[in-house]
Amino acid sequence: MATATLTIDLDALIANWRALDAVTTCETAAVVKADGYGLGADRVARCLMHNGVRKFFVAAAEEGVSLRQALGPDPEISVFSGHMAGDTDMISDMGLTPMLNSVDQIVRHVEALPANPFGVQLDTGMNRLGLEASEWAAVRDLVLPRNPTLVMSHLACADEPEHPMNPRQLAAFREMTDGIAAPRSLAATGGILLGSDYHFDLTRPGVGLYGGMPFVEATPVATLGIPVIQVRDVAEGESVGYGNSWIAGRPSRVATIAAGYADGILRAMGTDVSVFSGDQRCKVIGRISMDMIGVDITDLGEDPSRLELLGRHQSVDTLADAAGTIGYEILTSLGHRYTRRYKVG
Amino acid sequence: MATATLTIDLDALIANWRALDAVTTCETAAVVKADGYGLGADRVARCLMHNGVRKFFVAAAEEGVSLRQALGPDPEISVFSGHMAGDTDMISDMGLTPMLNSVDQIVRHVEALPANPFGVQLDTGMNRLGLEASEWAAVRDLVLPRNPTLVMSHLACADEPEHPMNPRQLAAFREMTDGIAAPRSLAATGGILLGSDYHFDLTRPGVGLYGGMPFVEATPVATLGIPVIQVRDVAEGESVGYGNSWIAGRPSRVATIAAGYADGILRAMGTDVSVFSGDQRCKVIGRISMDMIGVDITDLGEDPSRLELLGRHQSVDTLADAAGTIGYEILTSLGHRYTRRYKVG
């Protein structure tokens, strides 16, 4: 058992969804792209569905196919990348709802699958996905009579509530959509927290469900316990790990634990993270290897069989700070060698 | 088809193995842990087996189980993390050969599976895995009569040929093993390139097979082509992507491509990488998103349907430099949403 165990607390996930749902008076969907932000899209989405979620979002049609198989025919599964060349059969056979991003995609969709539901994504300034204002003006009278399931856009700076881009995108979205009959959506997790002006008819929380910032009150969902392969005494002056980057400053007790950057523990975290034995903090030492990490357990007073990297004492966002990135990347990097255990009740 | 295609050139893989094999006069194994450094352990190992490789190494028994199912009963599959609690049935049922790392593991193995093959890993200064010299002295006369398949150690600084740690570990290994009958192994890719003193009876190349440094002459194995979701004109002064971090300095043509940090394109690469359309370089712009990346295609003169991130024009190690890491991490991070295509001949 030289593989770590990732425990996913489905009650915490549901609590986070409910907390974000309670912020608004509109419908709340769930974004489960990138394998449910690394936690397992099938299990995460099934659990959300059983707790009342009816609309899900994924990045690519391939993800939608897998999700449809997990969820059955009822929930709406929308695809952010829209209707790309090669997607037609997947969209049709699996009942997916593409968010059409361009005139090209609109033409492709309406020609190939005139009766298949679709939404429209508008660009309100992020310049990443969606129709420009001028394109929307050109096609809206052709598109709206076909009853899109949703007209949506995405905020570029929602994690920074004071950023002037937020009201600018809101104004652009209203200008492009005020008065239409179709349901509208602008907010993901960050947008939900910007206030009711941003909520419209549907919100699309992602990272907040999984315990990551910017949803400060999120309940942690993931706990990662890593087994100890071996412990040893290391004399003062001896080195540990690749490149001899850590030298023992005192006689030390060192554990080698069985996970590394091949499991998504970003090498950039270096020695800025700790692992925990119960409530006791132990420093990571030396370079993070592909499959192993060294830990100074000198002050622990015992040899642990397992140490916790992620959980009550150290959040996704603490790991992200250590690696110079954001919690989203910590989550989506979670390794495929981990045993995933889903905890309820 | 909003998913990228990772093409793995199995001929290049075999060429790399043969080139590393030709450096030595001893046997050459192959390390296929971490899902064959991200390229697919089953396919990679089957191909190596059909080209004469008889010994494979993985990190954990769970990886060994999967590999045995792919390779059938013949090749030797050794497990670096040894015989951990909970591993006994996997080792026995799947005919795995644990590299025993501690007295605890030796006792566990000999008590549970006295007739099952095993190897021994010694620590020669890295302080990560393996028996210390004093532990080895205490147990070697009990262990050696049981005919270990291999007595091995691992170099901490082999990627730095001039590092004094290399001869120090070599001397420690010789002191602990000279005169024994069992086959010996010290060198992975870096060690092979340190010269014949480091070769002993078996080498264990990993990263060099997959086209990564420190094997400078390695043939690139992986090519990553990413489909374009959408292209748009962006006016001078407009921003692209999260946080408005890129502002167009001229009227620009921008493509959004369908891969991101959830696919292992480390966010830390930022805008220090390019993508290629044929031989033409296009700059990545803005922040790398979870599922998408922005690209400046203004100078391309046409709208591409696909852009190449990894391949002939940009190596694993170039990407690693941009992300402040090593090629190993670029490989093992390669995403699970990619369609993997295996090319031969």
Q: Is residue A218 one of the residues assigned to a domain?
A: no
Chain-chain contact of A127 with B239 (C-beta, under 8 angstroms): yes
Pair A148, A262 in one domain: no
Name the band, by pLDDT with cuts 50, 70 and 90, for residue A345.
confident
Residue A5: alpha-carbon gap to chain centroid: 19
Name the band, by pLDDT with cuts 50, 70 and 90, for residue B11.
very high
Determine the Cα–Cα distance for residues A49 and B281; give it in Å rounded to an integer.
Answer: 45
Determine the Cα–Cα distance for residues B207 and B250; give it in Å rounded to an integer.
Answer: 42
Predicted pLDDT at B59: 97
**CATH (domain of B128):** 3.20.20.10
Predicted pLDDT at B209: 97
User: Which amino acid is located at A172 in the chain?
Assistant: A
Pair B238, B261 in one domain: yes
ipTM: 0.96
Q: How far does the CA of residue B33 sit from the closest CA of chain A (Å)?
A: 9
Q: Average pLDDT, whole number, for chain B?
A: 97
With tokens 């996930």, the residue in question is A13
With tokens 């990662």, the residue in question is A224
Q: Is residue B85 one of the residues assigned to a domain?
A: yes
Determine the Cα–Cα distance for residues A97 and A120; give it in Å rounded to an integer.
Answer: 10
**CATH (domain of B232):** 2.40.37.10
Pair B119, B199 in one domain: yes
Q: Is residue B52 one of the residues assigned to a domain?
A: yes
Q: Please state whether beta strands A76-79 and A55-58 pair in parallel, antiparallel, or not at all (unpaired).
A: parallel
Q: How many structural domains compose chain B? A: 2
Q: Is residue B59 one of the residues assigned to a domain?
A: yes
Q: Which two tokens stand for residue A85?
A: 């060349």
- Please indicate if any CB of chain A lies within 8 Å of the CB of B33: yes
Residue B10, helix vs strand vs coil: helix
Name the band, by pLDDT with cuts 50, 70 and 90, for residue A2.
confident
Pair A283, A327 in one domain: yes
User: What is the 3 state secondary structure string of B184-214?
Assistant: EECCCHHHHCCCHHHCCCEECCCHHHHCCCC
Residue A6: alpha-carbon gap to chain centroid: 15
Predicted pLDDT at B81: 97
Pair B206, B227 in one domain: no
Q: Is residue B216 one of the residues assigned to a domain?
A: no
- Please indicate if any CB of chain A lies within 8 Å of the CB of B139: no
Predicted pLDDT at A304: 98
Over range A64-68, report the average pLDDT.
Answer: 98
Over range A26-46, report the average pLDDT.
Answer: 98
Q: Is residue A47 one of the residues assigned to a domain?
A: yes
- Return the closest-CA partner of residue A40 out of A332, A344, A345: A332
User: Which amino acid is located at B62 in the chain?
Assistant: E
Pair B150, B295 in one domain: no
Phi, psi (deg, nearest 5) at residue B268? -65, -15
- Please indicate if any CB of chain B lies within 8 Å of the CB of A128: yes
Q: Is residue A301 one of the residues assigned to a domain?
A: yes
Chain B: residue whose CA lies nearest to A253: B127
Name the band, by pLDDT with cuts 50, 70 and 90, for residue A102.
very high
Pair A119, A193 in one domain: yes
Pair A187, A39 in one domain: yes
Predicted pLDDT at B5: 97
Contacts of A157 in chain B (CB under 8 A): 242-244
Over range B151-166, report the average pLDDT.
Answer: 97
Q: Answer whether residue A203 shows pLDDT above 80.
A: yes
Over range A146-155, report the average pLDDT.
Answer: 98
Entry pTM: 0.96
- Return the closest-CA partner of residue B146 out of B121, B117, B173: B117
Chain-chain contact of B127 with A241 (C-beta, under 8 angstroms): yes
Pair A253, A277 in one domain: yes
- Please indicate if any CB of chain A lies within 8 Å of the CB of B116: no
Domain coverage including residue A21? 9-210
* Burial classification of residue B198, based on how many CB atoms lie within 10 Å of its CB (0-12 exposed, 13-18 middle, 19 or more buried): buried
Predicted pLDDT at B151: 98
- Return the closest-CA partner of residue A206 out of A187, A225, A223, A224: A187
Predicted pLDDT at B345: 76
Name the band, by pLDDT with cuts 50, 70 and 90, for residue A326.
very high
Q: Which of B230, B291, B325 sits opposite A33 (nearest CB)?
A: B291
Pair A194, A227 in one domain: no
Q: Is residue A171 one of the residues assigned to a domain?
A: yes
Residues 198-227, chain A, touching B (beta carbon < 8 A): 227
Q: What is the pLDDT of residues B209-268, one digit of tens each?
A: 999 998 899 999 999 999 999 999 999 999 999 999 999 999 999 999 999 999 999 999
Predicted pLDDT at B282: 98
Whether residue B342 lies in the annotated active site: no
Q: Please state whether beta strands B293-296 and B280-285 pair in parallel, antiparallel, or not at all (unpaired).
A: antiparallel
Name the band, by pLDDT with cuts 50, 70 and 90, for residue B2.
confident
Single residue among A210, A234, A261 that ends a domain in this structure: A210
Pair A163, A246 in one domain: no
Catalytic residue among B37, B198, B210, B242: B242
Q: What is the pLDDT of residues B260-309, one digit of tens each?
A: 999 999 999 999 899 999 999 999 999 999 999 999 999 999 999 999 99
Predicted pLDDT at A48: 98
Q: How far does the CA of residue A244 sit from the closest CA of chain B (Å)?
A: 7
Over range A142-162, report the average pLDDT.
Answer: 97
Task: DSSP for B69-84, please give it.
Answer: HHH-SSSEEEETT-S-
Residue pair B247/B237 in contact (Cβ under 8 Å)? The answer is: yes
Pair A103, A30 in one domain: yes
Predicted pLDDT at A230: 96
Predicted pLDDT at B120: 98
Single residue among B151, B184, B210 that ends a domain in this structure: B210
Predicted pLDDT at A205: 98
Single residue among B210, B230, B262 that ends a domain in this structure: B210
